[in-house]
Amino acid sequence: MAADDRPQIYLITPADFDPDTFPDTLARVLDTSEIACIRLALAGTDEYHIGRAADALRAVAHERDVAVVIESHLKLAERHGLDGVHLTDGARNVRAARKELGADAIVGAFCGASRHEGMNAGEAGADYVAFGPVGDTALGLGQRSDRDLFAWWSEMIEVPVVAEGGLTADIVAHLAPVTDFLGVGAEIWSAADPSAALKALLKPLG
């Protein structure tokens, strides 16, 4: 696959990690693969813990000119000097996030498998729309975002699209021609060597 046609990699952190040790793991991934953006996706409501993680990730990522967005927490994005926010509720808060963070911030929206929700998010000013899961999962409603959705979106809509959730090497090969970004997270972090796991996952891209 030609470099110009390859989807870029959008890295998603684990839902829980140690801010003292994970940045070293992240740095190794960033130093061995080209990453376009990182999403800080910590679960929970511990503001101090999430803030520490944000500072640690920002230091590693910005040193390598990689953008960092945070899942949902607008105020923490501003406070910790992150590049934007990833909204998990579709188009609902895109306009508010844009108003809060300004024109230069990254505002992304996860829209499940809903073409309609994705279009609304794009019209509201989202910089990208994410659809997923693209692989089999028992989580959530279990509704899978299929290749037809990405193919239609890529042909009809200019807003960049992210494919995420349950990626495998076969799915990477299947979706690569019709998505702008591959959202990679849980697929690699449980491996002994996340850098090697990422390379294996992306092998179909050449």
Q: Domain map of the chain by residue range?
A: 3-205
Q: What is the pLDDT of residue 140?
A: 65
The mean pLDDT of 110-126, rounded to a whole number, is: 97
Question: pLDDT tens-digit profile of 51-99?
Answer: 999 999 999 999 999 999 999 999 999 999 999 999 999 999 999 999 9
Alpha carbon distances (Å) from 111 to 2, 60, 91, 124 = 29, 29, 8, 13
CATH classification number, 3-205, choose in 3.40.50.11740, 3.20.20.70, 3.40.50.300, 3.50.50.60 = 3.20.20.70
Secondary element (H or E) of residue 184:
strand 181-184
CA angle, residues 111, 133, 99, in degrees to nearest 5: 25
Query: What would the DSSP string read from start to end of 113-149?
Result: T-HHHHHHHHHHT-SEEEE---S--SSTT-----HHH
Distance CA 199, CA 133 (A): 21
Percent of the chain with pLDDT over 90: 92
Cα torsion angle, 159, 64, 16, 97, sign: negative
DSSP label of 194 = H
**Residue that wins the pLDDT comparison between 175 and 4:** 175
In sequence order, what are the beta bridge partners of 12? 39
Q: Give first-to-last CA distance, the chain, whole Å.
A: 6
Question: pLDDT tens-digit profile of 8-49?
Answer: 999 999 999 999 999 999 999 999 999 999 999 999 989 999
User: Residue 169 — pLDDT band, cuts 50, 70, 90?
Assistant: very high
Query: What would the DSSP string read from start to end of 6-35?
Result: SPEEEEE--SS--TTTHHHHHHHHHHHS--
Phi-psi region of 65 (alpha: psi -120 to 50; beta: other; left: phi over 0): left
Q: What is the pLDDT of residue 2?
A: 45
User: Residue 136 — pLDDT band, cuts 50, 70, 90?
Assistant: confident
Give helix 194-201 / helix 22-32 axis angle, nearest 10°.
40
